[in-house]
Amino acid sequence: MAEKEKIISERQLMEFCVQTLQKAGLPQEDAWTVADSLIAANLRGVDSHGVLRLPSYIRRLLDGGANPKPQIQVIRRGASFVRLDGDRGMGQVVGKYAMKETLELASQTGIGVATVCNSDHFGAAAYYAMMALKQDMIGLAITNAAPIMCVWGGKGRFIGNNPIAIAVPAGKEFPIVLDMAVSNVAGGKVRIAEKKGIKIPLDWIVDEEGNPTDDPNAFGGKTGGSLLPLGYKGYGLGVMGEILSGILSGGRILDEMPLWLVDTSLTVGIGHFMLAIHVDAFIPIQEFKNRADHLVQRIHSAPRAKGVERIYLPGEIEHLSELKRRAEGIPVSEAVFQDLVRIGHELNIGTEILS
């Protein structure tokens, strides 16, 4: 039997999220930024990084792990780069600030780079990479995180599932957006399965002893199971994400970061790496967009294997999901909905807005 879902409009979810985040201490503009990142993920069908995360963010704000009013500091600045200290701020607030700086640098020099230390979990990486699209730029965003994945050939939690997102503008076609975890599956998807009470594929996680398991509950807690890397290539990307986000920023790496979901009163000290490319500095933007459109069309025309109805490009499924959910509303599982109700009651916010 399919799990019950509630369909909630983008406006309703946004209003609820902003209210709860403000009650937890965020200024209105910052509350909107965090809420916008969550709703953007839900709209694109990336529910693992949507409103599922809201109760955990609220907990970090209430328990003191995240700073609701950070004073983001410039540690060092050059013609095309900036190094920032996020002052323990919400990752979305710090990440948006960093990407805006990156885009401004790119508009002046053709390339902009920002590294960030002392931040918090920033949600879906595509949210920041896609900020570049509005300025006809290519955007890239990487973050590190507390260890929840085993290394290639190892067992136990040792490295973060350090995601990477790249967003590329097009003309008449949709933007090409890669947003990938370096594990076989994002940890949020395991938590969704746990909420729904369903089993997971055996290649998603291993238990504490390194054995494959279909039980999503084996992933939770401080000493639970580990995500499996996306082969040795995913593991390699994870290491590079650790270097760019953690070492290059002067921030924390590996087990220097506590689990943000579990240790809600502790500073996690996550690092980010942002890059923007001003396309017009290299090639006229319209020529670039025309060629990007051509690329999309050529790939769509590729011969299909037996049983395949359509060839998709990176970000295309998410683009189609966004069109559908903006028009029809966002499906929220009963388990996630009840979590929202509980956090609303805790903060004395009426949940009738979600009805």
Angle at 317 between CA 5 and CA 7, to 5 degrees: 20
Say yes or no to pLDDT of 342 above 70: yes
Say yes or no to pLDDT of 1 above 50: no
Which pLDDT score, from 0 to 100, does residue 108 have? 97
* pLDDT, mean of residues 192-199: 82
The answer to whether the Cα torsion of 14, 15, 19, 20 is positive or negative is negative
Identify whether the C-beta of residue 199 lies closer than 8 Å to the C-beta of residue 215.
Answer: yes
Identify whether the C-beta of residue 24 lies closer than 8 Å to the C-beta of residue 59.
Answer: no
* pLDDT, mean of residues 229-249: 96
- Among candidates 31, 106, 119, 34, which has minimal Cα distance to 75? 119
- pLDDT tens, 164-176? 999 999 999 999 9
- pLDDT tens, 219-230? 876 667 899 899
- Among candidates 63, 55, 106, which has minimal Cα distance to 82? 106
**5-286+315-354 fold:** Ribosomal Protein S8; Chain: A, domain 1 (3.30.1370)
Mean pLDDT of the chain, nearest integer: 93
Measured between alpha carbons, how far is 352 from 16 in angstroms, rounded to an integer? 10
| Tokens (6 digits) for 268 | 């996690």
Which pLDDT score, from 0 to 100, does residue 217 have? 85
Which pLDDT score, from 0 to 100, does residue 221 have? 66
Q: What are phi and psi of 308, to 5 degrees?
A: -95, 125
- pLDDT tens, 84-142? 999 999 999 999 999 999 999 999 999 999 999 999 999 999 999 999 999 999 999 99
Q: Does the global pTM surpass 0.75?
A: yes
* Domain range summary for the chain, segments of one domain joined by +: 5-286+315-354
* pLDDT, mean of residues 322-336: 94
Angle at 267 between CA 44 and CA 150, to 5 degrees: 65
